[in-house]
Amino acid sequence: MSNSYFHRANLADMFSRRSLSEKGASGIFISSPRRTGKSTFIREDLLPKLESCGAEVIYVDLWADKSADPGEIIVAAIHKRIAATKSMVSGLIKKSGLDNASIDVAGILKVGVSKKVREGEITITDSLSLLSENKKTIIVLVIDEAQHATTTEQGANALFALKAARDELNSSGNYGFRLIATGSNRDKLATLVNNKDHAFYGAPLVELPYLGRDFLEWELSRFESDVKPSIERMLASFDLCGYRPEYLSQSLDALLFQIDLTGENVDSRLAVEVSNRLVASKVDFLKQVNSLPPLQYSVLKVMAAEGDNFAPFKSATIEKYKQVCGDLAEEVKIDSSSAQAALESLRDKSLIWKVARSAYTLEDAQYAKWLIE
Ligand SMILES: Nc1ncnc2c1ncn2[C@@H]1O[C@H](COP(=O)(O)OP(=O)(O)OP(=O)(O)O)[C@@H](O)[C@H]1O
Ligand SMILES: [Mg+2]
């Protein structure tokens, strides 16, 4: 167990018990804002806990390689697990009808099989059934940043295939299948469970609790100085940081370089360090926004102001882009196609996120606050 992280054993126990129980069969969706510790919790606490309960755990992070198709990432993770066992590889080849595939070259198997998946000749359900039969235990697939799957057709198909696998493997006589999915934005994740057209309609969506007082006490115990900030100041600072450990740990680290730190000034110094960091990230963001081409700037501003009602191509919205551009005293051609190009560029810059066709949202909820202020 790594000492670089604060471990959340009770939370891991709760999620693992719920997931492995009968109620967990529909899947569990867990959200919490950016940089608040989802992936760390999953990797450091939840996965080991699930494994210690005897589950066959497969973990995929759909953000690990943003250029890869999310559908391919999911299929590859399942097949990599299968490729680790020779007898399963031959079983998969048999099911797929790939008579000339090499059984000991995982790369060939992966390519061959994912092509077949696209053609619908071997399904994710087949692969997971095979894994389940071989391991004789429940399979838990943990997908980090699962909302990313909806951005491509292959990704959306993979989610539907997982739903089919879930239904089959959870039927009697099988060992069971569970899905745990996380995401940085509750709204994005909610699209997967609130919409009848989506694969995991009706599955529970819960918030991962923020790191709390026990985490701050752990941070203080590691703070290598005789003078330490009070727990009250730590709580207030962490709240200001939006419960993002990095801002706090960097601020604490900066204090260690202050040779005139005393019991009297340590709390106020921490407040200054935290506030400097927050201002700096806001300034960085606004610098980036202010250097955008006028139409991209306008689209971002209008998007922040409109919130959930943002409809990028409506004539009223196009008028609003024109108004913001007009305020900038810039002559720009604005119509649906130039707006579309602006949205794509903002997406490439990771400032916005495509929820579905013609539906976009800001990448980080904090951006909207900074843009409106
Ligand atoms: N339990 C913890 N103990 C110590 N540090 C932590 C803990 N959880 C998160 N952190 C630190 O906070 C930062 C963000 O954590 P992490 O990447 O897990 O968050 P996330 O919510 O998955 O972020 P993203 O939105 O980018 O996916 C990392 O630097 C990580 O080391
Ligand atoms: Mg993460």
Name the more confident of 292 and 328. 292
What is residue 298's predicted lDDT score, i.e. its pLDDT? 95
pLDDT range class, residue 115, cuts 50, 70, 90: very low
The residue contributing the CA closest to ligand 1 atom 29 is 246
Report, as an integer, the average pLDDT of 11-23.
97
Q: 51 CB less than 6 Å from ligand 1? A: no
pLDDT attached to residue 331: 73
Give the rounded percent of residues in the chain with a pLDDT score beyond 90. Answer: 55
Of 59, 54, 45, 57, give the one whose Cα is nearest residue 13.
45
Tell me what pLDDT residue 308 has. 83
Does 39 sit in the ligand 1 pocket, CB within 6 Å? yes
258, two tokens? 């202050």
- Classify 136 in phi/psi space as left (phi over 0), alpha (psi -120 to 50) or beta: left
pLDDT at 84 over 70: yes
Residue closest via CA to ligand 1's atom 5 equals 5
Q: How far is the CA of 30 from the centre of ligand 2 (A)?
A: 12
From CA 159, how far away is CA 119, in angstroms rounded? 16
Per-residue burial over 132-142, b if 16 or more Cβ lie within 10 Å, else e, is: beebeebbbbb
The Cα 188–Cα 201 span in angstroms is 14
Residue with CA closest to ligand 1 atom 9? 37
182 lines ligand 1 (CB under 6 A): no
5 Cα to the center of ligand 1, angstroms: 9
pLDDT score for 108: 34
The percent of residues above 70 in pLDDT, for the chain, comes to: 88
From CA 189, how far away is CA 199, in angstroms rounded?
A: 12
Residue 148: what pLDDT?
86
175 and 22 Cβ atoms separated by less than 8 Å: no
Nearest residue (CA) to ligand 1, atom 1: 6
Average model confidence (pLDDT) across the chain: 86
With CA atoms as reference, report the closest residue to 141 among 62, 218, 204: 62
Pocket of ligand 1 contains residue 210 by CB under 6 Å = no
- Label residue 355 by pLDDT band (50, 70, 90): low
Query: What is the per-residue pLDDT for 103?
Result: 35
360 Cβ below 6 A of ligand 1: no
Q: What is the pTM of this model?
A: 0.83
- For residues 163 and 156, the answer to whether their CB atoms sit within 8 Å is no
Residue spans of the domains in the chain: they are 9-207, 213-288, 292-372
Higher-pLDDT residue of 148, 211: 211
State the distance from the centre of ligand 2 to the C-alpha of 67, rounded, in angstroms. Answer: 16
**pLDDT score, position 117:** 44
Q: Is the CB of 218 under 6 A from ligand 1?
A: no
Examine the pLDDT at 111 and tell me if it is beyond 70.
Answer: no
Task: Assign 106 a pLDDT band (cuts: 50, 70, 90).
Answer: very low
Whether 109 shows a pLDDT value over 60: the answer reads no
* pLDDT beyond 80 at 301: yes
34 within ligand 1 shell (Cβ under 6 A): yes
Q: What is the pLDDT of residues 328-354, one digit of tens each?
A: 776 788 999 999 999 999 988 989 987
- Candidates 6, 31, 35, 219: which one to mutate for ligand 1, based on the most atoms within 8 Å of Cβ? 35
Closest ligand 1 atom number to CA of residue 184: 25
Mean pLDDT of 91-104: 54
Say how far apart CA 1 and CA 7 lie, in whole Å. 9
Among the bound ligands, the one closest to the CA of 34: 1
pLDDT at 140: 97
Q: Which atom of ligand 1 is nearest to the CA of 43?
A: 18
Residues with Cβ within 8 Å of residue 99, at least 6 apart in sequence: 93
Distance between CA atoms of residues 329 and 32, nearest Å:
40
When pLDDT is averaged across residues 67-96 and rounded to a whole number, the result is: 76
Q: pLDDT band for 101, please (50, 70, 90 cuts).
A: very low
User: Is the CB–ligand 1 distance for residue 176 below 6 Å?
Assistant: no
pLDDT at 181 over 90: yes
| Count of H-run helices and E-run strands, the chain | 17, 7
In terms of pLDDT, which residue wins out, 113 or 318?
318
Overall average pLDDT of the 156-168 stretch: 87
CATH of 292-372, one of 1.10.10.10, 3.90.1150.10, 1.10.3720.10, 3.40.50.300: 1.10.10.10
Least confident of 50-59, 128-137, 187-196, 325-334: 325-334
- Give distance in angstroms: CA of 295 to centre of ligand 1: 34
Contact 151 CB / ligand 1 (< 6 Å):
no
pLDDT of residue 98: 55
- pLDDT tens digit string along 142-153? 999 998 888 888
pLDDT tens profile 224-270: 999 999 999 999 999 988 899 999 999 999 999 999 999 999 999 99
Residue of 4, 11, 34, 39 with the most ligand 1 atoms within 8 Å of its CB, for mutation: 39
What pLDDT sits at residue 89?
Answer: 65
Q: What is the rounded average pLDDT of the residues 164-192?
A: 89
Superfamily of domain 9-207: P-loop containing nucleotide triphosphate hydrolases (3.40.50.300)
Q: Are 172 and 11 in contact, with CB atoms under 8 Å apart?
A: no
